[in-house]
Amino acid sequence: MHIVITGAAGFLGQQLVERLLAEGELNGQTIRHLTLVDMAEPPMPATDGVEVTRLALDITEPGGLDAALAAGPDVIYHLAAVVSAAAETDLELGMRVNFDATRALLEGCHARGLAETRLVMASSVAAYGGELPEVLDDMTALQPQNSYGAQKAMSELLINDYSRRGLVDGRVLRLPTIIIRPGRPNAAASSFASSILREPLNGEEAVCPVSTDLAMFVMSPEKVIEALIHGAEVPGDALGPFRAFMLPGITVTVAEMLETLRQVAGDEAVARVRHEPDARISAIVSGWPSRFTTRRARELGFRGDGSLREIVDAFLNGKA
Amino acid sequence: MHIVITGAAGFLGQQLVERLLAEGELNGQTIRHLTLVDMAEPPMPATDGVEVTRLALDITEPGGLDAALAAGPDVIYHLAAVVSAAAETDLELGMRVNFDATRALLEGCHARGLAETRLVMASSVAAYGGELPEVLDDMTALQPQNSYGAQKAMSELLINDYSRRGLVDGRVLRLPTIIIRPGRPNAAASSFASSILREPLNGEEAVCPVSTDLAMFVMSPEKVIEALIHGAEVPGDALGPFRAFMLPGITVTVAEMLETLRQVAGDEAVARVRHEPDARISAIVSGWPSRFTTRRARELGFRGDGSLREIVDAFLNGKA
């Protein structure tokens, strides 16, 4: 089993590498080779027995993916992306990384006859938008109101078409907003959702740029990684006529996040959250839907978190 | 008013040119210049007073659109496309014409600052697919099961994103199956839908390859052209959060087509239709949805045909 991961130096990529090496196998096959791709060379993970190739390359350059695809990987995790706020700032950069690189990956698989290769891409709740129903289902249109979502939606269509034509075995997981991310705030418009829990739990201040009424569809890093693993294990013919679907997140409001923070860390933790409305951030994230049936994902065996409290407890356990 | 039309030598392009010249104006402004673009030089239309530029060029070549965009057109009709059967046969050709050329058009408008230019693209019922509900609405997902539909759906997303960013003023009309097309039967899977009316009305035999129970979502050429005209006249801010929607076709079964044929031309006309079931054609067209609410299009003032009888009567009047 040879697995390629793009965006391997990123948060999800690093957690996925760690989990894959801990499992030692994927889809019942021993992992023998990991190829980790990112703009800068990904860190060397701790392993014995698994060959690790680390590639610092620009997947948007012509031929940039050749080295990663030449060995004919069994599974490709395509996690490389320009995040939402950055894609909104720089249309050309977003198109190149979020769409053109996906297309180059598909073309590369096609050119090398990698029809059996399972390509797992991360898409996003940001692909939804427009005049949405109260509760979304698997047949709700993607009418994204941000360039990142548009680029992901286009990539979904392309992966589905290449899969339908038998050129690759693609599957696209639409990720809920991931909380609680480790590390520092980043350029993602949703960054605050982790920050308003993580920073106070670390004794630091955080800024909440949105109304506490805002509802979000969220999933813990642990469940997202489990979903990425499962996403490579689901048989292609079980996926039905479209290869992209929403993962089973849970719906929580910012007020519920702050209340859970209070339960686990008291009023003083909640007091570390400063409320500084940001119209730009609010405009982006308030357009993201927060309620889904996620029937297809559940039927395929994907599982979400039990509650927000479980997510916070898991974060605290990870810190301990 | 300067109007550019890509695919100007095609069936819709030619009818649109004729109609625009007959009207003499678009959106209340006198038409002074038409730029007609196609792979081969489009025919010279009959006009006096309107400047007509005819360009034989490949819009998929780098800079291919420069000549058409240099003058800063007020309206662009983007009708150039590789049709469904060809796009299914040749993925690369379909991507290049149906998607890359649309992207080049958008980039060309962006580069020239044509933010006010109204870009009207024709999309298709073929963009729908998958596990569809009985009646589709404006928020039904596009999960195309053919490459043509996937390429159109991707183009829709890109046009919407460029419009949302204020780089162009795009609008995309999803066309129903057009009946009654003039001319002869062709290789299109939907060809029979025109043929089983047109040929008997012309005293000729026709073949019906599908069950008479089959329902289709149809629109007359006249109403499609009216919709293209209206599509350039609707104010951009009326279009709401997504720039693509289904036009208000009408739902008719093959049995209803044959009954209408009987009403206008008698039993002898109906007897000219031979029923020769074709599993391949049936499989294709039975996957196309036939019932839509088309609320958004109706609210924007787009109008469909009153009845199948009106479509047939209009065809007979056009012949007379």
Asked whether the predicted pLDDT for residue A225 surpasses 80, the reply is yes
pLDDT confidence of residue A177: 93
Cβ atoms of A127 and A140 within 8 Å: the answer is no
Size of interface A-B (CB pairs under 8 A): 84
Give yes or no for A145 touching B (CB within 8 A).
yes
Task: Could you list the beta-strand ranges (E) of A15-163.
Answer: 25-26, 29-30, 33-38, 51-56, 75-78, 118-124
- How many Å lie between the alpha carbon of B166 and the closest alpha carbon of chain A? 12
B186: tokens are 């062709």
Q: What is the CATH number of domain A2-175+220-246?
A: 3.40.50.720
Asked if A138 lies within 8 A of B153 by C-beta distance, the reply is no
Catalytic pick among B77, B128, B148, B162: B148
**Which residue of B143, B159, B294 to mutate against A (max A Cβ within 10 Å)?**
B143
Examine the pLDDT at A275 and tell me if it is beyond 90: yes
- Upstream peptide bond of A180 is cis (omega within 30 degrees of 0): yes
Q: Which residues on A lie below 8 Å from B161 (Cβ)?
A: 91, 144, 147, 150
Q: In the structure encoding, which two tokens stand for residue B43, read together?
A: 């025919």
The reported pLDDT for the residue numbered B189 is: 81
Q: Which of B140, B144, B157 lies at the smallest CB-CB distance from A150? A: B157
Q: What is the DSSP string of A161-226?
A: HHHHTTS-EEEEEEE-EETT--SS--SSTTHHHHHHHHHHHTT--EEE-S-TT-EEEEE-HHHHHH
Classify residue A244 as exposed, middle or buried by CB count within 10 Å of its CB (0-12, 13-18, 19+). buried
Q: Which of A157, A134, A154, A159 is nearest to A144 (CA)?
A: A154
Nearest to A42 by CA among A70, A16, A62: A16
* Element containing residue B51 per DSSP (H, E): strand B51-56
Asked if residue B196 lies in contact with residue B258, where contact means CB atoms within 8 angstroms, the answer is yes
List chain B residues with CB under 8 Å of A140. Answer: 139-141
pLDDT tens string, chain B, 320 residues long: the values are: 999 999 999 999 999 999 999 999 999 999 999 999 999 999 999 998 999 999 999 999 888 889 899 999 999 999 999 988 889 999 999 999 999 999 999 999 999 999 999 999 999 998 999 999 999 999 999 999 999 999 999 999 999 999 999 999 999 999 999 999 998 888 778 899 999 999 999 999 999 999 999 999 999 999 999 999 999 999 999 999 999 999 999 999 999 999 999 999 999 999 999 999 999 888 888 888 999 999 999 999 999 999 999 999 999 998 76
Give the C-alpha separation, B151 to A154, whole Å.
9
Q: State how far residue B248 is from chain A, nearest Cα, in angstroms.
A: 18
Instruction: State in Å, rounded, how far the first CA of chain A is from the last one.
Output: 34
Of B142, B153, B241, Cβ closest to residue A129: B241
Name, in order, each residue with C-beta under 8 angstroms of B71's C-beta and a sequence gap of 6 or more: B2, B33, B35
Question: What is the Cα–Cα distance from A280 to B225, expressed in whole angstroms?
Answer: 40
C-alpha pair distances (Å), A189 with each of A183, A270, A289, B183, B317: 16, 21, 14, 54, 58
The pair of structure tokens assigned to B116 is 């006010």
Which of A157, A162, A293 is the mutation pick for testing B, counting most B CBs within 10 A? A157
Q: Which of A80-84, A191-195, A297-301, B284-288 has the least mean pLDDT?
A: B284-288
The first and second tokens of residue B175, run together, are: 């066309």
Could you tell me the CA-to-CA distances from B88 to B147, B154, B156 in Å, in that order? 6, 16, 19
Spatial distance between the Cα atoms of B201 and B187, rounded to a whole number of angstroms:
21
DSSP code for B140 = B
Residue type at A86? A
Provide, as residue numbers in chain B, all residues whose Cβ is less than 8 Å from the Cβ of A147: 161, 165
- Residue spans of beta strands (DSSP E) within chain A: 2-6, 25-26, 29-30, 33-38, 51-56, 75-78, 118-124, 169-175, 177-178, 206-208, 215-219, 244-246, 250-253, 273-275
Picking from A131, A127, A117, A167, the residue whose alpha carbon sits closest to that of residue B295 is A131
How many residues comprise chain A?
A: 320
Nearest CA in chain A to B130: A241
**Selection from B264, B251, B250 nearest residue B304 by Cα:** B250
Helix (H, G, I), strand (E, B) or coil at A252: strand
Residues with Cβ < 8 Å from A284, sequence gap 6 or more? A84, A85, A88, A126, A145, A146, A189
What does the block give as tokens for B93?
């050709």
pLDDT confidence band for A320 (50 / 70 / 90) = low
A183: left (phi over 0), alpha (psi -120 to 50) or beta: left
* Region of poorest pLDDT, from A116-130, A147-161, B58-72: B58-72
How near does any CA of chain B get to the CA of A39, in Å? 26
CATH number of B178-217+250-291+305-319: 3.90.25.10
pLDDT level of residue A319 (50, 70, 90 thresholds): confident
Name the residue among A100, A244, A74, A99 with its Cα closest to residue A172: A244
CB A171 within 8 A of CB A306: no
- Asked if B138 is an interface residue toward chain A (Cβ–Cβ < 8 A), one would say yes
Q: How far is A21 from chain B (nearest CA, A)?
A: 35
Instruction: Please name every residue paired with A171 in a beta bridge, in sequence order, or none if there are none.
Output: A120
Alpha-carbon dihedral angle through residues B96, B97, B99, B102, given to the nearest 10 degrees = 120
Write the CA distances from A23 to A19, A78, A235, A279, B39, integer angstroms: 6, 20, 19, 43, 56
Residue in B131, B150, B242 closest to A161 by CB: B150
Q: CB contact, 8 Å: A147 with chain B?
A: yes
Provide the token pair at A123: 């898409």
Report the C-alpha gap between A190 and B124 in whole angstroms. Answer: 35
10 Å Cβ neighbour count for B41? 14
DSSP-derived pairing of the beta strands B25-26 and B29-30: antiparallel
Is A150's Cβ below 8 Å from some Cβ in B?
yes
**Is B153 in contact with B144 (CB distance < 8 Å)?**
yes
ipTM of the shown complex: 0.95
Using DSSP's 3-state secondary structure scheme, residue A94 falls into helix
Mention every residue, 6+ apart, whose C-beta is less than 8 A from residue A24: A30, A31, A50
Q: If you measure CA to CA, which chain A residue comes closest to B111? A: A92
Lowest mean pLDDT among A4-13, A275-284, A292-301, B251-260: A275-284
- Edge to edge, what strands does the sheet with A51-56 contain? A51-56, A33-38, A2-6, A75-78, A118-124, A169-175, A244-246
* Tokens of residue B184, six digits: 């002869």
Has residue A189 got a pLDDT over 90? no
Asked whether B98 and B82 are in contact (CB, 8 A), the reply is yes
Determine the distance in angstroms separating the CA of B234 from the nearest CA of chain A, rounded to an integer: 19
Whether residue B274 contacts residue B219, with contact meaning beta carbons closer than 8 Å, is answered with no
Helix %, strand %, coil % for chain B, to 5? Answer: 40, 20, 40
Q: Domains of chain A: which residue ranges?
A: 2-175+220-246
